[in-house]
Amino acid sequence: MGFDSGTMFETMNMLSTSDHTSVVSINLFVTLLCACIVIGHLLEENRWMNESITALIIGVGTGVVILLISGGKSSHLMVFSEDLFFIYLLPPIIFNAGFQVKKKQFFRNFMTIMLFGAVGTLISFIIISLGAITFFRKMDVGLAIGDYLAIGAIFAATDSVCTLQVLNQDETPLLYSLVFGEGVVNDATSVVLFNAVQNFDLSHINTSVAFQLIGNFIYLFITSTVLGVVAGLLSAYIIKKLYFGRHSTDREVAIMMLMAYLSYMLAELFYLSGILTVFFCGIVMSHYTWHNVTENSRVTTKHTFATLSFVAEIFIFLYVGMDALDIEKWRVVSDSPKTSISVSATLLGLILVARAAFVFPLSFLSNLAKKSPYEKIDFKQQITIWWAGLMRGAVSMALAYNQFTRAGHTQERGNAFMITSTITVVLFSTVVFGLLTKPLVRFLMPSSKQLTSMISSESLTPNSFIVPLLGEGQDSVAELFTGNGQVSEASEGGRSVPRPSSLRMLLTKPTRTVHYYWRKFDDAFMRPVFGGRGFVPYVPGSPTERNVDNWQGEARN
C-alpha cells in the first residue's frame, strides 16, 4: 500500500510540474506576443520593418536565449505541430481575408486572380518539382519521388503579408486586389496540390496518374468552394429568420464565428481544402450574413475577426523564428554544411525562376483581354507582383513539417535537409526580401496624388475603387456599362442608364456583363431569401430597426 501511495504522489508531482512548465511557457509566449505588437507599433513608420519581420527577429533572439539557458538542448517554448497551425491558427487568417475583402475589386479581377493563383501556382509547382528532381538527385539528398512533388507544393505557397502591409488598397486598388487575391488562392491551391500528391501512389508516374492528379485537384477546388458558399448561405438564412439580435448580440457574433469555423472543419473532415472553403464562406458572410445582424454585431464581428487574424499571424512568425534554431534538426545535417547550403540556395533559385515563369507571361495574357490602359498590369506592377510572391512563410513551414517530420521530430538525413532548408528559405526570404519590400514598392509605385488624378481622369474606371472596407455600396448599372456596346437606355433614379443587349457586349466587357446579370439574379432571388443590404425585413429589434427610425425622422424633417 505504501508503494502504491508513493507511486501516486510521484505521478501527481510529475503532473503538477508538467502543468507548471506549460503555464510558464504560455506566460512567456504571451509576453513575447505583446512585445511583438508594441515594437511593431513603434516601428510602424519605419521604411524597412514590418510586424512579420519584427516577430521573426524577436523569435530568433528568444530562441538564442532559450538555447543558451537550456545548454543547447532546445530553442523553443512549445513543440511545433502542423495540427496547431492548420486547425487553430490558419482558419481565422483565411476567413478574415475573405470577410474583409473588397468584393467588387476581387470579382472584377477574378479571372486574372485565378490565372495567377491557380494556373500560376500549378506552373510554379511543376518547375520547382522538376528542378528539385534534377538538382537534388545529383546532390544525393535521398528523397522519394513523392517528396520531390511535395517540395513543389510546399515552395509554391507564397506569403505576401509583407507586401500587403506596404500596399494601400485605396491608392493601388488593382495591384492590392491582385496580390491579395492571388495570395489566398495560391495558398489554397498549394494545399490542394499537397493533399493530392499525398493521396496518390507516385512510385510509377504515367499519363493516367497525371490526369488523376489534375482531376482530383479540380474536384477538391470546386467542392471546397461550394461547401464554403453553402455554409455562408446557411448562416445568413439562420440569422435572418431567427433574429438573434432581438435578445442577444452575443448569440449573433457566436453563431457567425462558429459557422465559419464549422465550414473549415467540415472541409477537413471530408478531406477537402479548408482554406478555400473558409475563404469563400467569409466572402458570402460579408455579402449576406453581416447585413442581417444588428449594428453592434457588425462592428464587433469586423474587429473580432481582424484581431484574431492579426494575433494568429504574429504567433506563427514568432514561433517560426524560435524554431529556426532547433538543435535536433541542425545536428543531423551538421556533417554536410555545403550540401545544406546548396539545397537552400537551389530552392531560392527555383522560387525566383518559377515565379518569373508565370507572372510575366500570364500578365501579358491578362492584358490582351483588357482595353482600358488603367486596367492593364504595367511592367512595374508586374515586378511588384513577382516580388510579392518570393517570400515564403507559415504555410510552407506547416506543409514541410507535415511531409518531413514525425510528431515534430526529424531523424532521417534527407528529411532533415528539407526541414532546415525550409527554415533557411523562410527566414531569408521574409527578412531579406521583406526588408526590401517598402523601398522597392515606393520606388516602383507612383505617389498617391498621381494615382488619385489617374483614377479621377479615367472615365472607364469605376468609382468604387475608393470605398470603405466592407462598404455597402454597389456599382450602378451606369458604372458597369459605359462605352461601346450600348444599344438601349433606361431610366434609373432619374438618370439615363445604358443597358446591355447584345452578344458583342458580353464579349467586349465580359466581367462587368457577368456582374450585371449576377446583380439581377442576386436582387431577384438570393437577397430576398438570405438577406443582405436593403433586403432585411423590418421587425422590432431586427437589424433594420435603426434604419427605419432614421428614414421616419428624415420624412418628418
268-290: average pLDDT: 89
* pLDDT-wise least confident of 171-175, 251-255, 357-361: 171-175
Q: For position 242, what pLDDT does the model report? A: 84
C-alpha grid cell, residue 160: 505576401
Q: For position 525, what pLDDT does the model report? A: 85
Q: DSSP character for 475?
A: -
524-543: average pLDDT: 69
* pLDDT-wise least confident of 58-67, 397-406, 530-539: 530-539
Distant-in-sequence, close-in-space partners of 67: CB < 8 Å, separation ≥ 6: 73, 74, 75, 325, 327
* pLDDT-wise least confident of 74-83, 114-123, 242-251: 74-83
Percent of the chain with pLDDT over 90: 20
Q: For position 483, what pLDDT does the model report? A: 41
SS3 174: helix
Query: Which has the closest alpha carbon to 94: 219, 273, 220?
Result: 273
Q: DSSP character for 537?
A: P
The matching CATH number, chosen from 3.40.50.800, 3.40.50.1360, 1.20.1530.20, 1.10.490.10, for 23-447 is: 1.20.1530.20
Is the separation of the CB atoms in 231 and 277 below 8 Å?
Answer: yes
On the question of pLDDT at 527 being above 70, the answer is: yes
C-alpha grid cell, residue 18: 508538467
H or E segment and range at residue 489: strand 488-492
Q: For position 508, what pLDDT does the model report? A: 46
242-259: average pLDDT: 85
Q: For position 450, what pLDDT does the model report? A: 46
Which pTM value belongs to this model?
0.76
SS3 354: helix
Q: For position 345, what pLDDT does the model report? A: 94
DSSP state string for 433-453: IHHHHHHHHHHHSPPHHHHHH
SS3 121: helix
469-498: average pLDDT: 44
- The Cα–Cα gap between 132 and 149 comes to 8
pLDDT band of residue 22 (cuts 50, 70, 90) is: confident
DSSP state string for 47-98: SS--HHHHHHHHHHHHHHHHHHHTTSS-S-SS---HHIIIIIIHHHHHHHHH
Altogether, the residues listed in the chain come to a count of 557
Is the separation of the CB atoms in 159 and 191 below 8 Å?
Answer: no
On the question of pLDDT at 471 being above 50, the answer is: no
Q: For position 401, what pLDDT does the model report? A: 82
Mean pLDDT value across the chain:
77
> Computed from CA positions of residues 34, 39, 45, 46, in that sequence, does the dihedral angle turn out positive or negative?
negative
On the question of pLDDT at 236 being above 60, the answer is: yes
Task: Provide, for the chain, the percentages of residues in helix, strand and coil under a 3-state DSSP scheme, each rounded to the nearest 5.
Answer: 75, 0, 25
Name the H helices within 285-336.
290-292, 295-323, 327-333
Q: For position 383, what pLDDT does the model report? A: 93
HSE, side-chain direction, 13 A CA sphere, residue 316: 30
Percent of the chain with pLDDT over 70: 74
C-alpha grid cell, residue 291: 447585413
Q: Report pLDDT digits (tens) over 95-133.
A: 988 888 777 777 788 888 989 988 999 999 999 999 999
Query: Which has the closest alpha carbon to 274: 294, 290, 260, 295?
Result: 260
65-81: average pLDDT: 74
Question: Could you tell me which residue, 498 or 389, shows the higher pLDDT?
Answer: 389
- The Cα–Cα gap between 324 and 435 comes to 19
On the question of pLDDT at 546 being above 80, the answer is: no
**How far from 524 is each of 479, 518, 519, CA to CA, in Å?**
20, 10, 8
